[in-house]
Structure 1
Amino acid sequence: MFEGLIGLPVFAGGLSGLPILIGPSGGYLFGFLPSTFLAGFLMERGLARNIFTTFIVASLATMMIFCFGFLHLSALTGSQQAYQFGVKPFLLIELIKLIVVSFIAQFAWKK
């Protein structure tokens, strides 16, 4: 996020700068910070060692991103618009990604 803030084109579409961080997608970007800590914390404690628990941990991290994004977008557009355009269109694809990552993660752990 710091790289994008100082002007490096690291955000979607090669964008950068403060307007991206305070714009409609800013909450989602900020949500990645605590979600990575949450996922790492839970995984280090062995809560993501099988497909089911990996799915739960990944779901919690994803929900955190959505919460930050939804709250920020709600402040800009109202809660109905935020849900309609910032949450609802992504629910199915996120579920699919969570299922896929839960299976793939099983091969990433050292045995």
Structure 2
Amino acid sequence: MKIKTKELIFISLFTSLVVVFSYIKIPLPFSPVPITLQTFAVMLAGLLLPPHSAFLSMVIYLLLGAAGIPVFAGGKAGIGVIFGPSGGYLLSWPFAAFFISRFIKNIRNPVNVFILNLIFGVFFIYLIGVPYLSFVTKMTIDKAIAVGLIPFIPGDIFKALFATYLYFQLKKPLEKIML
């Protein structure tokens, strides 16, 4: 697969966006998983990049963090973060971005774009992250849902809504640049 220079620039841009959003962190005293804006960047990557580029932008982010560059939430780094309580959420991001990108092509209605963001940018991430959180921390699945899903629902719905809005604002200008 040959990747064009413009694609590399956009892959780098969205990798950087996830990094920047990782530093906007709100720790929750009852949860090992912090609130960040990173899933917002995952959704935007899926909405605005081709599927392989969306996937690669998130994989590169994970590789940077695993290599010891402080790109994870709050400036953390290392493979230990991926094997820690937030690891399942992190590992789901390349696939979430890929699936959003793969299915966005046939969707024009804002409500359906919002639903797509909810399915893959929120619930798919929970589907991977919550059981992983339960396994790593040895919490019951009910406890993992209570500390790794429920407190995040309002913010994630807002992120999905705002990502949908930005998609419709940025889609046409970016199409001109990306061609």
Asked whether the 8 Å contact 1:50–1:106 carries over to 2, the reply is no
- What SS is found at the alignment partner of 2:71? coil
Q: 1:107 aligns to what?
A: 169
Q: 1:31 aligns to what?
A: 92
Q: TM-score, normalised by structure 1?
A: 0.90
Which amino acid in structure 1 is aligned with residue 160 of structure 2? L
Q: Is 2:141 aligned against 1:79? A: yes
* CA distance, structure 2, for counterparts of residue 88 and residue 80 of structure 1: 10
Q: How does 1:49-64 map to 2 (within 5 A)?
A: 49-61=108-120, 62-64=122-124
Greater Cα offset, 50-59 or 82-91: 50-59
Match of 1:67 among 111, 127, 139: 127
Which amino acid in structure 2 is aligned with residue 59 of structure 1? L
Match of 1:46 among 91, 99, 106: 106
* CA distance, structure 1, for counterparts of residue 169 and residue 109 of structure 2: 10
Q: 2:63 aligns to what?
A: 2
Gaps of 5+ in 1: none
Q: 2:79 aligns to what?
A: 18
* CA distance, structure 2, for counterparts of residue 108 and residue 53 of structure 1: 17
Gaps of 5+ in 2: 1-61, 174-179
Aligned residues: 109
- What SS is found at the alignment partner of 1:16? coil
* CA distance, structure 2, for counterparts of residue 84 and residue 46 of structure 1: 35
Greater Cα offset, 72-81 or 29-38: 72-81
* CA distance, structure 1, for counterparts of residue 147 and residue 103 of structure 2: 30
Q: Is 2:150 aligned against 1:88? A: yes
Question: Over the residues paired in the alignment, what is the CA RMSD in angstroms?
Answer: 1.4
Q: CA deviation digits over 1:34-72, x for unaligned, max 9?
A: 1011001011x322x231111011111121111110110
* CA distance, structure 1, for counterparts of residue 87 and residue 156 of structure 2: 19
